[in-house]
Amino acid sequence: MSLALFRSLPVSVVQVSLAAVLACGQSFRWTVIPLGSEEPPTHEYRLCLRDRVVCLRQTPEHFYYRAVYPDSQPTHDQVSTREKETVAWIKDYFQLDVDLTLLYQDWSTRDHHFATLQDRFGGIRILRQDPWENLISFVCSSNNNISRITKMVNSLCKEFSPPLLTLESPVADEKHAYHPFPPPSVLAVPEVSAKLRSLGFGYRAEFIQRTAQMLMEAHGTTSKPDAVREPGEIWLESLRKLTTQEARDELLKFHGVGRKVADCALLMSLDKKEVVPIDTHVYQLAVKYYGVKAPSKGKATMSNKIYDEVSAKLHSIWGEYAGWAHSVMFTSDLKSFSSYGLPTPSSSVSISTEEIIKEAVTDTLTKRKRLSDDTIEKTPRIAPQPAVSTTHDLVDTIKKRRRVVRVSGISTP
């Protein structure tokens, strides 16, 4: 498959596995296109931002990227500027300043169970997403699974955001329309609730519309016609500068945003790497592998006390990047990843991201009997307490390697 239109960026698959990280329930708008090749790159991944569509392919040691714009004939200066913006966006979105191999080494030392998973589930890291899109996506996640969340988020974009451009498929004689994520002002209109209900959003429809309306009422709209983002979106991003609890308190003010949804936003878009979102799925893993006490009766309510205890326990094991470790553990237990990383009789290629997305019938809320966020199933077996290293902490080393990536001029999703 030709890479003539792509530029390369050295990124090892052990640092980022697109096949895993784009299908494990963090982001829901990436289009995945199989390229029909047994040799990498085997897939193309596309995401529509406000002003461009970013296209990625991956080999074991490189990202291959290109960006497509609505205007087909940019000037020479525009080409150079846009190229820098796209590279900066990729580095920022995938947080490439964090050395994932160091984190995996640290977690394997702290956690014997993690050590058994690291070879199969390498390259899984936390994305640094646009806070507005991330928040609304996880409002959609309530009592839901990855496949259905993906469908809802994409239908939201198609209904409320005009297509930025159409782009040909790399393997078929067809074109796809790409829609940006709609801004708060579009979703704040009262009529949005009824339309979302007609699209199958259920009770989440009011949560989405009301959250957008609250942002608009508090922060207004911009008077600049060429503004990339609205004031409410800028304010949400500013929560990155607050402490974890301060940012959480702000998020909890929105309709439909409970502790788990808020913590997902804190971890996946607001730089709170230590936050471990807890639901029944994660609770069961904590009972099974980390010595967390199962409820004395068959079922128990997910109280704030239980949430805090489980979160604190996992943080004590995994350290300051506990939220990142949680993502690896969570992904490893998804039904759709049951054969991920395992060799097949004919090849050693992992299952494709397209299969993962299509077959993802278990998400943060659908383990076993699809228990709701408010119910926890008892797991009878409690694993021994894992060994925790209190002296082996690589956070300082990792921090020294971090380089803040400034994104100037590029539009976020």
Q: How confident is the model at residue 295 (pLDDT cuts 50, 70, 90)?
A: confident
Residue 156, pLDDT > 50, answer yes
For position 389, what pLDDT does the model report? 39
276 or 362, greater pLDDT: 276
In a domain, 409, yes or no: no
Residue 374, pLDDT > 50, answer no
In a domain, 296, yes or no: yes
Residue 404, pLDDT > 90, answer no
Q: HEC states along the chain?
A: CCCCCCEEEECCCCCCCHHHHCCCCCCCCCEEEECCCCCCCCEEEEEECCCCEEEEEEECCEEEEEEECCCCCCCHHHHHHHHHHHHHHHHHHCCCCCCHHHHHHHHHHHCHHHHHHCCCCCCCCCCCCCHHHHHHHHHCCCCCCHHHHHHHHHHHHHHHCCCCEEEECCCCCCEEEECCCCCHHHHCCCCHHHHHHHCCCCCHHHHHHHHHHHHHHHHCCCCCCCCCCCHHHHHHHHHHHCCHHHHHHHHCCCCCCCHHHHHHHHHHHCCCCCCCCCCHHHHHHHHHHCCCCCCCCCEEECCHHHHHHHHHHHHHHHHHHHHHHHHHHHHHCCHHHCCCCCCCCCCCCCCCHHHHHHHCCCCCCCCCCCCCCCEEECCCCCCCCCCCCCCCCCHHHHHHHCCCCCCCCCCCC
In a domain, 209, yes or no: yes
- Bridge partners for 54 per DSSP: 47, 67
Residue 281, pLDDT > 90, answer no
Q: Amino acid identity, residue 113?
A: H
**For the segment 103-114, what is each residue's pLDDT rounded down to a tens digit?**
999 999 999 999
Q: How far is CA 122 from the centre of its chain?
A: 16
Cβ neighbours of 373 (radius 10 Å): 18
Residues 189 and 302 in one domain: no
In a domain, 148, yes or no: yes
In a domain, 398, yes or no: no
Residues 237 and 293 in one domain: no
Q: What are phi and psi of 178, to 5 degrees?
A: -120, 125
In this structure, the dihedral spanned by the alpha carbons of residues 98, 271, 322 and 262, taken in order and rounded to 10 degrees, is -150
Cβ neighbours of 253 (radius 10 Å): 11
Residues 152 and 263 in one domain: yes
Q: How confident is the model at residue 226 (pLDDT cuts 50, 70, 90)?
A: low
For position 382, what pLDDT does the model report? 32
Round to whole Å and give the CA distance between 58 and 3.
Answer: 11
Entry pTM: 0.84
For position 345, what pLDDT does the model report? 56
Residues 134 and 266 in one domain: yes
**CATH for 263:** 1.10.340.30
For position 235, what pLDDT does the model report? 98
For position 78, what pLDDT does the model report? 86
Domain boundary among 283, 314, 339: 339
Domain interval for residue 44: 1-97
Round to whole Å and give the CA distance between 192 and 180.
Answer: 17
Catalytic amino acids?
Answer: 260
Sign of the dihedral defined by the CA atoms of residues 96, 101, 107, 113, in that order: positive
In a domain, 168, yes or no: yes
Domain boundary among 271, 297, 316: 271
- Bridge partners for 68 per DSSP: 53
For position 300, what pLDDT does the model report? 62
Q: How confident is the model at residue 167 (pLDDT cuts 50, 70, 90)?
A: very high
Q: Amino acid identity, residue 154?
A: N
Residue 402, pLDDT > 60, answer no
Cβ neighbours of 202 (radius 10 Å): 15
In a domain, 328, yes or no: yes
Residues 117 and 150 in one domain: no
Residue 163, pLDDT > 80, answer yes
Residue 376, pLDDT > 90, answer no
**CATH for 306:** 1.10.1670.10
Residues 136 and 260 in one domain: yes
Round to whole Å and give the CA distance between 159 and 197.
Answer: 12
**CATH for 23:** 3.30.310.40
Percentage of the chain modeled with pLDDT above 90: 73
Residues 226 and 167 in one domain: yes
Residue 137, pLDDT > 70, answer yes
Residues 120 and 144 in one domain: no
For position 225, what pLDDT does the model report? 61
For position 381, what pLDDT does the model report? 34
**For the segment 325-335, what is each residue's pLDDT rounded down to a tens digit?**
999 999 999 99
**For the segment 53-72, what is each residue's pLDDT rounded down to a tens digit?**
999 999 999 999 999 999 87
For position 370, what pLDDT does the model report? 39
Domain boundary among 97, 114, 146: 97
For position 369, what pLDDT does the model report? 38
Number of structural domains, the chain? 3
Residue 37, pLDDT > 90, answer yes
Residues 249 and 183 in one domain: yes
Residue 352, pLDDT > 50, answer no
In a domain, 380, yes or no: no
Residues 47 and 93 in one domain: yes
Residue 168 structure tokens: 């040909």
Residue 296, pLDDT > 90, answer no
Residues 148 and 81 in one domain: no
Residues 91 and 8 in one domain: yes
**For the segment 78-88, what is each residue's pLDDT rounded down to a tens digit?**
889 999 999 99
